[in-house]
Amino acid sequence: MADDPDEYVFDEATGEWRPAAEVAAATAERAEVRDASGNVLADGDSVSLIKDLKVKGANQTLKQGTVIRSIRLTDNPEEIDCRHDTIKGLVLRTEFVRKRG
Amino acid at 45: D
Report yes or no: 94 and 41 within 8 Å, Cβ to Cβ.
yes
Question: pTM to 2 decimals?
Answer: 0.68
Q: Which of 5, 8, 4 is nearest to 17 (CA)?
A: 8
Which ranges in the chain are annotated with CATH 2.30.30.40?
A: 32-99
Q: 32-99: what fold?
A: SH3 type barrels. (2.30.30)
Q: Which of 4, 3, 26, 2 is nearest to 14 (CA)?
A: 26
Given a cut of 60, whether residue 1 has pLDDT beyond it is: no
Mean pLDDT for 68-86 is: 91
Which has more pLDDT, 18 or 1?
Answer: 18
